[in-house]
Structure 1
Amino acid sequence: MKRNGRCKYQAGFTLIELLVAITILALVAVLSWRGLDQIVRTRDVVTVSMAEERALAQFFDQVGIDVRQAALEREIGQSPMAFGGGQLQIVRQLNLSGQAPRLQVVRYHVPQGRVLRTASPPLATLGQLRAALAAGANMEGWSVVELMGGVVAVNLRAWVPQLGWTANMLDVQTALNKNLSQLTGLRAPNAPPVRSITGIELSVRVVNAQHALTRILLVGE
Structure 2
Amino acid sequence: MKIPAHAQRGFTLIEVLVALVLLALLGLISWRGLDAVHRVSERLDARAEETLSLVRALGQVERDLRRHAGADVLPAWQAAVGGPASPGLSFPAAGIAWARESGLLLVRSTGDGRWQRLRWYVDQGVLYRAAGAPSYRLPLPEPGTAVAVLDGMRAWSLREWRPGQGWMDPQA
Give the TM-score taking structure 1 as reference length. Answer: 0.58
Whether 2:100 is the aligned partner of 1:85: answer: yes
Distance 1:113 1:166, change over 3 A: closer
Q: Distance in 2 between matches of 1:46 and 1:162?
A: 40
Find the counterpart in structure 2 of residue 122 from structure 1.
134
Q: Percent identity?
A: 33
- Spell out, residue by residue over 1:197-220, the C-alpha distance to the aligned partner (whole angstroms, 9 max, x if none): xxxxxxxxxxxxxxxxxxxxxxxx
Distance change >3 Å, CA 12–CA 153, structure 1 → 2: same
Q: Provide the rounded CA distance (Å) in 2 between the counterparts of 1:162 and 1:18.
A: 79
Consecutive unaligned residues of structure 2, counting only runs of 5 or more, are 78-93
How far does residue 37 in structure 1 lie from its aligned partner after superposition? 1.3
What secondary structure, in the 3-state scheme, does the structure 2 residue paired with 1:110 have? strand
Q: Output the CA distance in 1 between the equivalents of 2:164 and 2:138.
A: 30
Q: Which has the higher contact order (CA 8 A, sep 6+)?
A: 1
Amino acid in structure 2 at the alignment position of 1:41: R
The number of residue pairs the alignment matches comes to 151
Equivalent position of 1:103 in the other structure: 115
**Residues 163 and 104 of structure 1: is their aligned pair in 2 closer, same or farther, counting only changes over 3 Å?**
farther
> Superposition RMSD on alpha carbons, in Å?
2.8
* DSSP 3-state at the match of 2:25: helix
Which is further off, 5-14 or 53-62?
5-14
User: Measured at CA, do residues 161 and 25 of structure 1 come closer, stay the same or move farther in structure 2, by a change above 3 Å?
Assistant: closer
Aligned mates of 1:23, 1:163 — CA distance in 2: 70
Return closer, same or farther for 1:161/1:92 CA change in 2, 3 Å cut-off.
Answer: farther
Tell me the alpha carbon deviations over residues 72-95 of structure 1, each in whole angstroms, 9 at most, x when there is no partner: 234321141122227212111222
1:72 to 70, 83, 89: 70
1:102-181 map, 5 Å: 102-127=114-139, 129=140, 131-132=141-142, 139=144, 142=145, 144-159=146-161, 165-168=168-171
**2:3 maps to which residue?**
7
2:163 and 2:33 map into 1 onto residues whose CA distance is 57
CA distance in structure 2 between the partners assigned to 1:69 and 1:123 by the alignment: 15
CA distance in 2, matches of 1:111, 1:122: 25
TM-score after normalising by structure 2: 0.71
Alpha-carbon distance between aligned partners in 2 of 1:163 and 1:72, rounded to the nearest angstrom: 23
Distance change in 2, residues 1:166/1:153 (3 Å)? closer
Post-superposition CA distance 1:154-206 (Å, at most 9, x none): 221234679873331xx7xxxxxxxxxxxxxxxxxxxxxxxxxxxxxxxxxxx
The aligned residue for residue 185 of structure 1 is: none
Cα distance between partner residues in 1 of 2:136 and 2:100 = 29
